[in-house]
Structure 1
Amino acid sequence: MDTSDTLAAFAALSQATRLDTFRLLVRHEPEGLSAGEIARQLDVPHNTMSAHLGVLARAGLVVSRRQSRSIIYRASLERMRDTIGFLVRDCCAGHPELCQPLLQELVPCPPSDKEPSS
């Protein structure tokens, strides 16, 4: 990950619909959503959503796969991890303890209270 890649990711996320789209896809990992369902949930015209998904895809923030007649989109969590990693790589000038509050906020979701199904 370099400065150019990081700027592309932030540029793609700097528009409200694209940011909402990425956040929606994160919530639907790992299954993903079809473009039509994303447009429906965000109340965005299909052709507009297609353009937004193209911007996110070019920035590497979403990936897609064909499933029958639909294209299913997923958030690229690896790309987001790389972007965040680029930002904090040199965290606190060699004093990682100063970055501990930030790192605590980046801890993944707490485990679910649901029992695993067998």
Structure 2
Amino acid sequence: MDKKTSLAALAALGQETRLDIFRLLVRAGQEGVAAGEIATRVGAVQNTTSSHLKILTHAALIRPERDGRTVRYVADMTGFRDLLAYLMEDCCNGAPELCRPVINAVTCDC
């Protein structure tokens, strides 16, 4: 991930509703959540939610998947991993053991 892409991802997550949407989709896993249901679950207006989804998609943090006539959104864990890797690229100035607690905290068994 480059600086420009990481800035877009951080800016996308820097807005309350978009952060709520991203966290919802991370919790949902590969099943994802239908677009209309996202608005309901985060308590947002549908057309505003559509804008938020577009921003998160362009930031490579989520992706749409067609399920018949329904569009479901899922967290793009590759994009999220790339963001974390970029942020930790120069972690601990050559002392990786200092980064171990952070790595352990973001590692899951999913």
1:65 aligns with 2:65: yes
Counterpart of 1:89 in structure 2 is 89
1:14 aligns with 2:22: no
Counterpart of 2:34 in structure 1 is 34
Which runs of structure 1 show a deviation greater than 6 angstroms over 4 or more consecutive aligned residues?
Answer: none
Larger fraction in helix: 2
2:10 aligned partner, one-letter code: F
Deviations 1:57-109 (A, max 9, x none): 11111101221221110010110000000111111111111112212212215
Counterpart of 2:2 in structure 1 is 2
- If the length of structure 1 is used for normalisation, what is the TM-score? 0.88
Distance 2:15 2:29 in 1: 22
Runs of 5+ unmatched residues, structure 2: none
Identity of aligned residues (%): 45
1:80 aligned partner, one-letter code: F
Runs of 5+ unmatched residues, structure 1: 112-118
2:40 aligned partner, one-letter code: R
- If the length of structure 2 is used for normalisation, what is the TM-score? 0.95
RMSD: 1.2
Aligned length: 110
